[in-house]
Amino acid sequence: MSKKVTKIGVLTSGGDAPGMNAAVRAVVRTAIYNGLEVYGVVRGYTGMIEDDIYHMDSKSVANIIQRGGTILKTARCKEFFTPEGRLKAYNNLAKRGIDGLVVIGGDGSFNGAQRFSNEFDIPCIGIPGTIDKDIAGTDYTIGFDTAVNTAVNAIDKIRDTADAHDRLFVVEVMGRDAGYIALHSGIATGAEKVFVPEAQTDIDELVASLTEKERRKKLVNLIVVAEGDKFGGGNEVGKILKERMPNADIRVSILGHIQRGGAPSCFDRLIASRMGYYAVESLLHGRHNVMVGIVNDQMNYIPLDTAVKEKHIFSDEWLHILKVLAS
């Protein structure tokens, strides 16, 4: 039988994502409601190693649900992936009696949590917080909805200036290993083509399509590119198109980190609150070393090592829909 958890730590790790604060708030208040003590770990695993840990109460998470970023800060920590680093982290938790951990982050964060739990028998619960939506076992990750809506809002504005000048715009969005932001924002803004890491784009076919649209006097075109696409991002795609279409007025716009910031959407606040609540419930009911996800609007619990090894399956159906609607 699993030992009873009495004190838990909560941390945010890896890239920040809008809605992380809502998840932290849910974890803290659900834990306190159930009689647990809660400690915030600052700067993720770095804070665990450097003993940057503080006691949290209900007031600690007041007025944060609407804020982007994370009040606990975040960092990537190479030292935690060494046995010596994890031992330092464990000792800092042990001296406070912390016997459970909630980790809000992506697959790298879950990998660290899995190793840590295996070595020191501290149950860990993962909450998927990443704008990339690239984690298996959940339909949603905290921050994706906000990030993609930020991208859509920016691309809509770019379309206005593209229309005013009859330009072709190549817009780069975030997505080093996953093309979900590019795919969703591309479809939602009526892009002609989307470049994603999961699929190879036929440049010849794209140039032929754009040339035909130019002949038909369709001079306003949007190409949305994930930063990690196989051609190397927006600047490289723009360079190729300029070489192949020297008479076209082509501009490149890179949206960058504005996609990470800003107040989380209603949807991100809702799923973050729900996941935070069920993360604590999981610890209380002995469901350890799992990631809390949502599939078909139902809570889904997937082992952390599975969440790390597998990737969210990318559907080619959406790429086909995009092709049809852009024709």
Q: What local confidence, expressed as pLDDT, does residue 176 receive?
A: 83
pLDDT for 210: 79
144-260 shares the fold of 7-143+264-309:
yes
Catalytic residue among 16, 57, 99, 132: 132
- State the binding site for ADP: 25-29, 159, 190-192, 216, 218-220
- Cα–Cα dist 102/89, whole Å: 14
Specify whether 132 is catalytic: yes
pLDDT, mean of residues 275-294: 95
* Pair of tokens at residue 280: 């604590």
Structure confidence by residue, pLDDT tens digits, 106-154: 988 999 999 999 999 999 999 999 999 988 899 999 999 999 999 999 9
Q: Return the CATH fold of 144-260.
A: Rossmann fold (3.40.50)
Count Cβ atoms below 10 Å from residue 142 Cβ, excluding itself. Answer: 32
State both tokens at 275: 């996941």
List the domain boundaries for the chain. 7-143+264-309, 144-260
Q: Mean per-residue pLDDT for 161-170? A: 85
Percentage of the chain lying above the pLDDT 90 cut: 66
CATH number for the segment(s) 7-143+264-309: 3.40.50.450
What average pLDDT does the segment 191-216 reach?
81
**C-alpha distances in Å from residue 308, one per residue of 18, 43, 103, 226, 295:** 21, 21, 13, 22, 17
- Once rounded to an integer, what is the mean pLDDT over residues 208-213? 77
**DSSP E strands, 157-308:** 168-173, 193-195, 221-226, 250-254, 290-295, 298-303
Laid out side by side, the sheet with 53-56 consists of 53-56, 37-41, 7-12, 100-105, 124-128, 290-295, 298-303
Which positions make up the binding site for substrate? 130-132, 167, 174-176, 227, 251, 257-260
How high is the pLDDT of residue 216? Answer: 62
User: Is the pLDDT reported for residue 273 higher than 60?
Assistant: yes
Q: Residue 180: which pLDDT band, with cuts at 50, 70 and 90? A: very high
Binding residues: 15, 25-29, 76-77, 106-109, 130-132, 159, 167, 174-176, 190-192, 216, 218-220, 227, 251, 257-260
What pLDDT shows up at residue 218?
Answer: 61
Q: Which helix (H) or strand (E) holds 164?
A: helix 144-165
Is pLDDT at 1 greater than 50 in this prediction? no
207 against 16, higher pLDDT: 16
Residue 209's pLDDT is what? 81
